[in-house]
Amino acid sequence: MAFELKMPQLGLTMEEGTVSKWVKHEGDAVKAGDVILEITTDKLTNEVTSEVEGTLLKIVAQEGDDVPVKGTLAWIGQSGEAAGGAPAAPSVPFAPAAAAATAAPVKPAGDKSVIVIGGGPGGYVAAIRAAQLGAKVTVIEKQYLGGTCLNVGCIPTKCLLHSAELVEDIRNQGKEIGVEVEGVKVNFPQVIAHKNEISKKLTSGVAGLLKMNKVKKIDGEASFTAPGKLSVKKADGTSEAMTADAIIVAAGSVNAVPPIPGIKENPYCIDSTGALSLEALPKSMVVIGGGVIGLELACAYAAFGTKITVVEAMDHMLPMLDGDLTKIGVAHMKKMGMEFHLECPVQSVEKSSVGAKVVCKNKAGETVSFEAEKVLVAIGRKANTASLNLDASGLKNDRGRILVNDRMETNVPGVYAIGDCVFGKAQLAHTASAMGEVAAENIMGIPAEYNEKTNPTCVYIEPEAASVGLTEEQCKAQGISYKVGKFPMSANGKALILNGGEGLVKIIAGTEFGEILGMHIIGPRATDLIAEGALAIGEEMTLDEIISTIHSHPTVTETMREAALQAEKRAIHTSNK
């Protein structure tokens, strides 16, 4: 008797999945455990395997179909056997009661049309939010869904860093904690393959989310022909004039290339995208730039065994972080074997027998040079608006960065801009997503404003660091009276277990009322812990309120309460000095 392959339930809240790709085809032989197809649910792509051996007799659900949990996907049996299946059951429609329960007013579908230029973390979130509120939405994407973040930015970088962290832990902490491993080696092609697999799962998940929310996607490149009017060059070479009630520009950013002689001509010079797709692990690398992008990748490659040299024109690195955090981070990176040369601007890049030679001027005015197999150019990013024809758009901009207000409105009525392509805002994925929701809600008549005071900065160096709100330097510059509480990770049990207690939590609060002004963390779980600081600032919480909240033990979260106690000279597990 033929076996009925059904849509699995991959989570308690899963109601349906989308067939994204058939790996096997009708007539193919199938073994138990073989991957038959890929399905998309929420933001993930999952593989469905066969429980039986036989032949794929009949495919019931086609690629792109939405199938409810336990709905029929296909039939597997013996060759020549009749398939006993019927067409897949139709998708379960959203219950009207669920829509009525939302606090936001829902407009009839198609009441407003919205075009979103760009399918990155700002664009696809804006599209989904506008669609939720009743808009007829089209996303125009010229390269790939997920933007820089999912494809060549946040997610791929963190994949490399996770592999690097495992290597570091085994080499440096394994023996101490009783885990001895001989011959630890890095299979670099597999590191890259794992990175590619994770990106693929997430990007195909975004496609599934857009489809689930009935957002139309056009593969093509948009440019303005007049204010509020677009021409879209599609992937098939045709062009179409388009307009809508509202347009959201979510074009993102690209790596900036400094005007340094020799960089563009030297094939051994790579940007962050190139650093995430190398085929072989380089023995040496010079990193130009001591910002987030350069140092995150530097940490990963240093852990893999690459000799890293960082050159920076300024007298300090990671300017977005509190100075105390930077000191701890740099000290750790030096322990990893990385070399730093500050106040050492690059003059040129030349050919070398090794690969490339980076020629600099040091603080004393002397010419110094550094040779390496690869040179990572990481001096920042610029708005990806060159192809938008901003001259015709009427949009006010600063060297391609579009000017917006806190409602994400541009100077052209009906045109909004979000994310990395706007002027004067943090270039972060979560920033773009927040802006996307704000833009969509304003378009659909729900007043919303973007407020950056709760926007965290996360830096995935070793150990990872995170910051939200004001630093001491900013408080001093603004004349704000403040007090500081600090707690070392070395006095926290869970941090001692995880990384030997390396790191610090620092809380800055107002002197009179104790309101939280800033929170800065370096150490284990820092980028997860920072959400408490963002919430505290957003809700105008005080030191007393953090102190009165019981934090579970043993966890790294205790360090935040301990820092608040120290600010009030009430520290239990550290000095009050």
Catalytic residues: 553
Which residue in 384, 152, 134 sits closest to 250, CA to CA? 384
DSSP string for residues in 179-210: ---SS----HHHHHHHHHHHHHHHHHHHHHHH
Beta-strand ranges (E) seen in 42-189 are 44-49, 54-59, 66-68, 72-77, 113-117, 136-141
Between CA 348 and CA 84 the distance in angstroms is: 71
Instruction: Output the CA–CA distances (angstroms, integers) from residue 160 to 79, 127, 304, 434, 460, in the order listed.
Output: 45, 30, 9, 26, 11
Structure tokens at 419: 């994310």
Which residue in 29, 46, 28 sits closest to 37, CA to CA? 46
Between CA 556 and CA 105 the distance in angstroms is: 41
Structure tokens at 17: 């999945």
Between CA 290 and CA 463 the distance in angstroms is: 16
Q: Tell me, what DSSP letter sits at residue 428?
A: -
Residue 484 CA, distance from chain mean position: 31
Between CA 229 and CA 414 the distance in angstroms is: 11
Contact 299/333 with Cβ under 8 angstroms? yes
